[in-house]
């Protein structure tokens, strides 16, 4: 498979864009080679600038649950564009989408739209601090909540501790109020509460998608809820990735744990840039202009993005079995991968939640970031390159999640499994 034009485009891009990309993972650094430059997408497929076609298991990192250029969403966007790109003023489309989300999520009574997941999380944490009158927050190793300063921290040994910046440009003063705990380890959270009586909130991906797909255990979330209640802290579910992907009505319906605030994105934008955060009315009413916690954005509730989101969520509501169908396809994909890997002596752990799937080349089950980091990164890089050559586009990092869209048929799944068999055979030398 030739990618001459992608190579040329990447060289040109590096002259004008740092690293040649506008989001770091796109650079293919963890898997090697040159990033694929995309010309267009249609249904289940991506087409690059060299004319190569790939089955897309990334789906723009999650939002395209109906695949590329879904006719309903595309028509809604085209119609919205004809009326204007942006107004910086209220529209009925904002209320329409808000009503749909509130109807679907029992924990959300009011919602506010923003332009990205990073912005949604940043605003949700500010709201939690304003509501509680406290400064500290607890986050978990391996959970990514966007690139706002207070969340770019690392834990070092993995013990619960106050965070230190993990990126130059982030002052230590910005992260001194961030405490770190280990995912699926309630004792590490208890230590955070023992270290601080000033915790405003605990933020977690209930279905982590940025250390690979690693769901939180139900009992762990239950104890987390109890800890927050006992200490007067709010519990935030970051469902920017899992919202409307794992289940139609939020992780609360499959975990049995109700959060105080939920952050959303991806699917509610239908492919357009959208984020949102919502929760109980008494919390949300703290937001300006109703309350004292300030948050604003010129492009928040952008009419074109709202049109795409309304079309996507409406289509999901009208086809309530979609996620069940996609989950069965994801399960078949991962079962086929496990069988092929086992046949060739390759250790492989797999997970499925709704239309999300994840895999690790690891001898043991993965329950947290420490476990994920023990996976075979070199083997993953070889696997990624080989599958790309076969015409299958997977996330270019072992710490990312895969996605099934309605455009990915049962036959495509079977073809992918056949490709797994071929690639694992080559990688194992058998």
Give the model's pLDDT for residue 175. 77
All residues at 6 or more sequence positions from 191 whose CB lies less than 8 Å from its CB, including other chains:
159, 160, 181
390 domain-assigned: yes
Asked whether residue 14 falls in the same domain as residue 82, the answer is: no
Asked whether residue 240 falls in the same domain as residue 285, the answer is: yes
d(C-alpha 394, C-alpha 401), whole Å: 9
Determine contact, residues 144/215, Cβ cutoff 8 Å: no
Does residue 285 have a pLDDT over 50?
yes
Asked whether residue 254 falls in the same domain as residue 341, the answer is: no
Please indicate whether residue 57 is annotated as part of the active site.
no
Q: Can you name the residues that pair with 264 across neighbouring β-strands?
A: 239, 276
Residue % of the chain over a pLDDT of 90:
88
- CATH code of the domain in which 405 resides: 3.90.1150.10
Q: Which of 259, 223, 227, 228 is nearest to 243 (CA)?
A: 259
Range(s) of the domain holding residue 136: 71-318
Average pLDDT over residues 49-57: 98
Q: Are strands 234-239 and 261-264 parallel, antiparallel or unpaired?
A: parallel
Residue-wise pLDDT tens digits, 237-274? 999 999 999 999 999 999 999 999 999 999 999 999 99
Please indicate whether residue 266 is annotated as part of the active site.
yes
Asked whether residue 184 falls in the same domain as residue 46, the answer is: no
Give the model's pLDDT for residue 152. 66
Maximum pairwise Cα distance, the chain: 66
**Residue 421 structure tokens:** 């068999």
pTM, two decimals, is 0.94
Q: Where does a domain end: 300, 318, 336? A: 318
Q: Where does a domain end: 298, 318, 338? A: 318
37 domain-assigned: yes
**Residue 416 structure tokens:** 């992918």
Asked whether residue 146 falls in the same domain as residue 289, the answer is: yes
- CATH code of the domain in which 264 resides: 3.40.640.10
249 domain-assigned: yes
Give the model's pLDDT for residue 160. 35
65 domain-assigned: no
Does residue 61 have a pLDDT over 60?
yes
Residue % of the chain over a pLDDT of 70:
96
d(C-alpha 384, C-alpha 362), whole Å: 16
**Residue 96 structure tokens:** 């329409």
Please indicate whether residue 238 is annotated as part of the active site.
yes
Which residue of the set 45, 54, 57, 144 is catalytic? 144
Asked whether residue 235 falls in the same domain as residue 332, the answer is: no
Residue-wise pLDDT tens digits, 11-26? 999 999 999 999 888 8
Asked whether residue 269 falls in the same domain as residue 152, the answer is: yes
**Count of structural domains, the chain:** 2
Does residue 1 have a pLDDT over 90?
no
Residue-wise pLDDT tens digits, 291-329? 999 999 999 999 999 999 999 999 999 998 999 999 999
360 domain-assigned: yes
Q: Which of 155, 159, 357, 127 is nearest to 242 (CA)?
A: 357
Q: Where does a domain end: 284, 299, 318? A: 318
Asked whether residue 193 falls in the same domain as residue 342, the answer is: no
167 domain-assigned: yes
Average pLDDT over residues 209-228: 96
Give the model's pLDDT for residue 157. 29
Asked whether residue 123 falls in the same domain as residue 39, the answer is: no
**Residue 189 structure tokens:** 């959270």
Give the model's pLDDT for residue 278. 98
Which residue of the set 9, 70, 136, 238 is catalytic? 238
**Residue 193 structure tokens:** 């509460």
C-alpha torsion sign, points 193, 198, 201, 207: negative
Helices 71-81, 303-318: inter-axial angle, 10-degree rounding: 150
Give the model's pLDDT for residue 430. 63
Does residue 165 have a pLDDT over 80?
no
Asked whether residue 256 falls in the same domain as residue 341, the answer is: no
Q: Are strands 275-279 and 261-264 parallel, antiparallel or unpaired?
A: antiparallel
Asked whether residue 46 falls in the same domain as residue 85, the answer is: no
Asked whether residue 277 falls in the same domain as residue 384, the answer is: no
Residue-wise pLDDT tens digits, 340-385? 999 999 999 999 999 999 999 999 999 999 999 999 999 999 999 9
- State the SS3 of the chain: CCCHHHHHHHHHHHHHCHHHCCCHHHHCCCCCCCCCCEEEEEECEEEECCCCEEEECCHHHCCCCCCECCHHHHHHHHHHHCCCCCCCCCCHHHHHHHHHHHHHCCCCCEEEEECCHHHHHHHHHHHHHHHHCCCEEEEECCCCCCCCHHHCEECCCCCCEECEECCCCCCHHHHCCEEEECCCCHHHHHHHHHHCCCEEEEEECCEECCCCCEECCHHHHHHHHHHHHHHCCEEEEEECCCECCCECCCCHHHHCCCCCEEEECHHHHECECCEEEEECHHHHCCECCCCCECCCCCCCCCHHHHHHHHHHHHHHHHCCCHHHHHHHHHHHHHHHHHHHHHHCCCCCEEEEECCEEEEECCCCCCCCHHHHHCCCHHHHHHHHHHHHHHCEECCCCCCCCEECCCCCCHHHHHHHHHHHHHHHHHHHCC
Mean pLDDT across the chain, nearest whole number? 94
Which residue of the set 110, 182, 191, 266 is catalytic? 266
294 domain-assigned: yes
66 domain-assigned: no
Residue-wise pLDDT tens digits, 82-133? 999 999 999 999 999 999 999 999 999 999 999 999 999 999 999 999 999 9
């Amino acid at each position: 498979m030739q990618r001459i034009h992608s190579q040329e485009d990447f060289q040109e891009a590096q002259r004008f864009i740092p690293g040649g990309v506008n989001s770091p993972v796109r650079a293919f650094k963890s898997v090697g080679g040159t990033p694929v430059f995309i010309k267009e997408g249609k249904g289940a497929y991506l087409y690059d600038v060299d004319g190569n076609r790939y089955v897309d298991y990334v789906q723009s990192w999650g939002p395209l649950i109906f695949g590329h250029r879904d006719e309903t969403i595309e028509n809604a966007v085209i119609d919205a564009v004809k009326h204007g790109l942006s107004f910086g003023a209220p529209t009925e489309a904002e209320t329409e989408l808000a009503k749909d989300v509130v109807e679907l999520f029992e924990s959300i009574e009011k919602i506010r739209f923003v332009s990205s997941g990073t912005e949604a999380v940043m605003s949700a944490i500010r709201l939690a601090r304003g509501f509680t009158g406290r400064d500290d927050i607890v986050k978990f190793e391996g959970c990514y909540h966007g690139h706002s300063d207070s969340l770019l921290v690392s834990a070092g040994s993995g013990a619960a501790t106050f965070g230190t910046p993990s990126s130059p440009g982030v002052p230590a003063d910005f992260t001194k109020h961030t405490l770190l705990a280990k995912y699926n380890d309630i004792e590490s959270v208890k230590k955070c509460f023992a270290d601080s009586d000033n915790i405003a909130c605990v933020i977690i991906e209930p279905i982590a998608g940025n250390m690979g797909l690693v769901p939180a255990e139900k009992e762990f979330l239950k104890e987390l809820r109890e800890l927050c209640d006992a200490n007067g802290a709010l519990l935030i579910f970051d469902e920017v990735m899992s919202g409307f992907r794992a289940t139609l009505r939020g992780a609360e319906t499959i975990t049995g744990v109700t959060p105080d605030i939920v952050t959303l994105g991806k699917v509610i934008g239908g492919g357009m840039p959208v984020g949102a955060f919502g929760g109980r009315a008494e919390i949300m009413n703290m937001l300006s202009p109703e309350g004292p916690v300030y948050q604003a954005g010129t492009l928040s509730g952008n009419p074109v993005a709202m049109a795409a989101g309304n079309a996507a969520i409406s289509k999901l509501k009208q086809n309530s079995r979609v996620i069940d169908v996609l989950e069965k396809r994801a399960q078949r994909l991962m079962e086929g991968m496990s069988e092929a890997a086992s046949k060739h002596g390759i250790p492989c752990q797999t997970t499925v939640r709704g239309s999300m799937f994840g895999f690790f080349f690891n001898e043991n089950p993965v329950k947290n970031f420490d476990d994920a980091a023990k996976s075979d990164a070199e083997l993953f890089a070889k696997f990624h390159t080989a599958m790309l050559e076969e015409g299958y586009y997977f996330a270019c990092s072992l710490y990312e999640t895969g996605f099934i869209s309605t455009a990915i048929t049962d036959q495509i799944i079977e073809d992918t499994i056949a490709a797994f068999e071929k690639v694992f055979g080559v990688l194992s030398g058998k």
